Amino acid sequence: MVSRTFVRFSAAVVLLWVGVACQKPKELTEDIARAIILPKLTRPEVIYAEVPQRIFWDPKFPKDDYDEKAVRTIRNLEKAGLVTIEEAHTSDSTTYIARASKKGFNILGITPSARGPALRGHIAMKRYDGVKNFLRHPNDPTVGSVEIVWHYESPTNLYDLFETKINKPLNKEFATVTSIYWKDGGWRFGTVVGKTVPTGGQ
């Protein structure tokens, strides 16, 4: 976990670097990298899962593994009283349509997805643990990278219901590889790899 004391120290260091932004630094150090990144990691993020409102398959669009997970998910939501389901079957096609019930209306939102409008639910939180594995560019001392380490925690009652959640195990360490560089008189950073296993992790 990121301590409040260290975050306050890091924020102070960032302000110090802003004060001397007009002076290009000689090199990026691990302390500077931490001071740039850590203040951004103080708040956990809400994590959602989704399931298409309309699930169907036919000869043109054959049933796949995700369709199976989606049907199980809306059935789970139906058992919890959060959706109602309409279904239609022919000799070569199947269609399910899930709609939020009165109980589910204030729990499930609607969001666009690759498969059309989807029901979306808050399933967990993403909590940041800190940064590690600082690397400086071998040829440019003002360029480097760190791994921002984080995990999923605090599952809600919807966590087990959404079988369509992909790769969201609880309390497993993940990392976001982030580049840090000097540009236009200040430090900048950006994501290189959004989600991976930390270097040296399992």
How far is the CA of 131 from the CAs of 35, 57, 114, 167, in angstroms? 10, 44, 33, 21
90 and 41 assigned to the same domain: no
For the chain, how many residues are written? 202
Q: Looking at 88, 121, 154, which one is the last position of a domain?
A: 121
Do 9 and 156 touch, CB atoms closer than 8 A? no
What local confidence, expressed as pLDDT, does residue 26 receive? 77
E strand segments, the chain = 45-52, 54-57, 83-89, 94-100, 109-111, 118-136, 143-153, 174-183, 186-196
Give tens-digit pLDDT for 48-90.
Answer: 999 999 999 999 999 999 999 999 999 999 999 999 999 999 9
The domain containing residue 64 runs over which residues? 47-121
Domain termination site, one of 57, 89, 121: 121
- Residues in the chain where the model's pLDDT stays below 70: 1-22, 201-202
**Token pair recorded at residue 19:** 């004060």
pLDDT at residue 200, rounded to an integer: 73
Of 121, 136, 153, the one marking the end of a domain is 121
H or E, element range at 35: helix 30-37
Give the pLDDT score at 5: 46
Q: Is residue 202 part of a domain?
A: no
Same domain, 38 and 92: no
Provide the pLDDT for residue 16: 46
180 and 117 inside one domain: no
